[in-house]
Structure 1
Amino acid sequence: MGDLITGDTPGLLAVAFLIGIVVGLTGMGGGALMTPALIFLGIPPTAAVSNDLMAAAINKTVGAAVHYKHGSPNLKLAKWLIIGSVPMAFAGAFIIDLIGSDADQQSFLKRAIGVALLLTASTFTLRIYLEMRRHLPDDPDRPDPRIRALPTLLVGAFGGLLVGMTSVGSGSLIMISLLLLYPALSARKLVGTDLVQAIPLVLSAAISHMMVTGIDWAVLIPLIIGGSPGTWVGARLANYVSQSILRRGIAIVLTLTGLGLLKVPPVWVGIIGSAMVILGPALWGVIKHLHGRPAFLHIPIGIREEPAAEHPRADASPPEPRH
C-alpha cells in the first residue's frame, strides 16, 4: 500500500474528481482535460498518456454499455470507425518509442498534446455551432443514413492515431466528424455510436502504451477512484448548470492549455485568453442572431427564486407563465 499511496495521491484524486464533474455535466470526454492536468501535476507526459488511456478504457466501457442496452448506437457506422482507428491507435505508442531518448519523447509529446488540445478546442467550438444550427428533432427512430465507408474509415484512422499518441480526441474530433458526415443522425445515436467505437479504440491505445511504457498504479487507481464519483455528481448537477457557459469555458481552457504546452509566451496567452473571455460572448451572440436565435438569452444557473411582492394578497391569483 505504501507504493500506491504517495504524496501525489490527494492531488490526483482531486483532479480526477473535478474533471469527472465536468465530464458528467457536459458529456465531454475527459482525455483533453485529464492528460494536460496530469502533466501540470508533474507526471511525465508518457506516463500521463498511458494511465489516462487505461482509466478512460474502464470508464467508457460503462457508458457504452448503457447506450448499447437502449439500442442507440449505429453498429454499422461504429464498425467502419473501429476498422480505421484500432490499428492506428495501437501504433501510437510505438511511434513515440521510435523518436529517441526519453527527453526527446517527453518534449515531443508536450508539443503533440498542445496541438491536439488546440485542434480539440476548435472542433469542440465547431460542434457547438453545428448543434445550434440543427433543427431536426432528436428522433431515435429516424432511418439511419447511408454509411460512407471510406470517409468514415479515414476519420477513424486519424482519430485513432491522435488518441494513440496523445490520448486526446477520441470524443471531440470523431464526434464532430460524425456530425459533418451524417447530419441527419439523431443526437442520441451519435453519442451512442461514439461511445461504442471508443471502447476498442481506447483499449488498443492503452494496451500498446502498457506494453511500451507500463502502468503506474499509484496514478491509475486515484484516477478511477476520483473520476467515477465526480462523473456521478456532474450528471446530477447537469440540469442546474448552464451548458452554454460551461462549453465556452471548456473551449477557452483547452485553448490556453494547448498554448501553454506549446510554450507560447505567457503574455500572449493572457492576451488571447482575455480576448476570448471578453469578445467571445459578443461574437457568439452575433452568430446566434444571424441564425435567428436570441442573441443573449439569459440561462440561469440553478433554480432562481422570483422576488416576492412587498404586500401579497391572500386571494392573489398565480402569475401568468412567461414565454
Structure 2
Amino acid sequence: MTDLVTYGALSILAVSFGVGIVVGLTGMGGGALMTPALIFLGINPTAAVANDLVAASVNKSVGAAVHAREGSPNWRLAGWLMVGSVPTAAAGAFIIEAMGADEDQTAFVKTAIGVALLLTAATYTLRSYLNVRATRLGNPPSTDDPHIRPVATVLVGAIGGLLVGVTSVGSGSLIMVSLLLLYPTLTAVRLVGTDLVQAVPLVLSAAITHVMVTGVDFEILIPLILGGTPGTYLGARIANRVPQGIVRRGIVVVLSLTGLTLLGVPPVAVGIIAAGMVILGPIAWALIRSRIGVPEGVDLFAEKVDIERARRASEDRA
C-alpha cells in the first residue's frame, strides 16, 4: 500500500480525476487525454498505453452493460466491427515489441500517439460539424435497422482496432465518425450503444496482449481507476452547467498541440500554431457557420443532436 501513496501515484490520481471530468463533460474517450498525460508525467509510453487500456476495459464495460441491458446496440453492426477490430487490436502489443530495443519502441509509440491525437482532433471536429449540418439541413429519417455494409464496416473496425492496439487512442473517435458517415440514419442512442459494445472486446483484446508483453503496473493502474471513475461521474453531473462549445474547442486545441509535441515539432512552432488556432479559430468557425446557414450565436461544438450526451447518460445511469 505504501507504494500506492507516493508522489507519482498521487500525480496520476489527480490527473486521471481531471481527465475523468473532461470525459464526463464531453463524452470523448479518455485515452486521447490520459495516455499523453501519463507520458508527460514521465511514464514510459508502452507502460502508459498498457495500463490505460486495462483501465479503459473496466470503464467501457460499465457503459456497454447499460446499453446492452436497455437493448440499444445494433448487434449485427457491432459484430461486423468486432470481426475487424479484435484481431488488429490484439496485434498492437506485438507490433510495438517488433520495433526492437526499448528506445525504438518508445520512439515508435510516441510517434504513433502523436499521429493518433491529430487524427482524433480532426475527427472530433468533423463529428461536431456533421451533427450540426445534419440538424440544420434536416436529418434523414432515423432507423434502428439500417442496411449493413459488411466490408466497409470490417475495414473501419480493423483500422480503429489497430490504432487502439498501438496507442490506446481512437475507439471513441475514429470509429464513431466512420459510423456516422456509413450509417447516417442510425439513431443516436443506437450509434452510441453499438460503439460502446464493440469497444469492449476491442479494448479487452488490446489490454490482454499488452499485459502479456509489457505487464501491468498497479502503481499506475489503481490511481487511474480510482481517479477516473469519480472524475467521470462529477463531469457528467455538471455537464449541463458548463458551456460545451468552449470545452470542446479547448479539447481540439489541446489534442492538436499535444500531438505535435509528441511528433517532435519545435516548441516555437507549436506556440505559433497555438496562437494561430486561438486567433484564427473563431474566424474559421464563423465562415463555416455562414456556409451552412447556422444562425449567429449557435456553436458548432454545442450540437443540437448531441451523440455525446447519450453516452454520458448511459454512464450516469450505470
Report the TM-score when normalising by structure 2.
0.91
1:1-323 → structure 2 map (5 Å cutoff): 1-135=1-135, 142-297=143-298
Whole-angstrom CA distance in 2 between matches of 1:279 and 1:124 = 18
Whole-angstrom CA distance in 2 between matches of 1:214 and 1:190 = 33
User: Residues 13-64 of structure 1, C-alpha deviation per residue, up to 9 Å, x if partnerless?
Assistant: 1111000001101110100000000000000000000000000000000111
Q: Unaligned stretches of 5+ in structure 2?
A: 303-318
Q: CA RMSD in A?
A: 1.7
Whole-angstrom CA distance in 2 between matches of 1:265 and 1:4 = 35
SS of equivalent to 1:8: helix
Whole-angstrom CA distance in 1 between matches of 2:94 and 2:298 = 49
Amino acid at match of 1:272: I
1:67 deviates by: 1.5
Considering fraction of residues, name the structure with more helix: 2
Contact 2:74–2:144 (CA under 8 A) maintained in structure 1: no
SS of equivalent to 1:144: coil
Task: Give the aligned partner of residue 312 of structure 2.
Answer: none
Whole-angstrom CA distance in 1 between matches of 2:10 and 2:139 = 44
SS of equivalent to 1:91: helix
Relative distance call for 1:227 and 1:138 in structure 2 (3 A) is farther
Whole-angstrom CA distance in 1 between matches of 2:139 and 2:229 = 31
User: Residues 163-203 of structure 1, C-alpha deviation per residue, up to 9 Å, x if partnerless?
Assistant: 00010101000001001101111111111111000000000
Contact 1:138–1:186 (CA under 8 A) maintained in structure 2: no
Whole-angstrom CA distance in 2 between matches of 1:298 and 1:54 = 35
1:286 deviates by: 1.8
Whole-angstrom CA distance in 1 between matches of 2:48 and 2:140 = 37
SS of equivalent to 2:126: helix
Task: Give the aligned partner of residue 313 of structure 1.
Answer: none
Report the TM-score when normalising by structure 1.
0.89
Amino acid at match of 1:287: I
Q: Unaligned stretches of 5+ in structure 1?
A: 302-323
User: Residues 119-144 of structure 1, C-alpha deviation per residue, up to 9 Å, x if partnerless?
Assistant: 1111111111111111356987x342
Whole-angstrom CA distance in 1 between matches of 2:141 and 2:204 = 31
Q: Which of 1 and 2 has higher RCO (CA within 8 Å, sep 6+)? A: 2
Amino acid at match of 1:83: V
Contact 1:138–1:188 (CA under 8 A) maintained in structure 2: no
Amino acid at match of 1:214: G
SS of equivalent to 2:20: helix
Contact 1:72–1:193 (CA under 8 A) maintained in structure 2: yes
Whole-angstrom CA distance in 1 between matches of 2:291 and 2:163 = 34
Structure showing greater Rg: 1
Question: Following TM superposition, where does structure 1 have runs of at least 4 consecutive aligned residues deviating by more than 2 angstroms?
Answer: 2-7, 135-140, 295-299
1:244 deviates by: 1.6
User: Residues 77-125 of structure 1, C-alpha deviation per residue, up to 9 Å, x if partnerless?
Assistant: 1000001000100010001101110111011111111011111111111
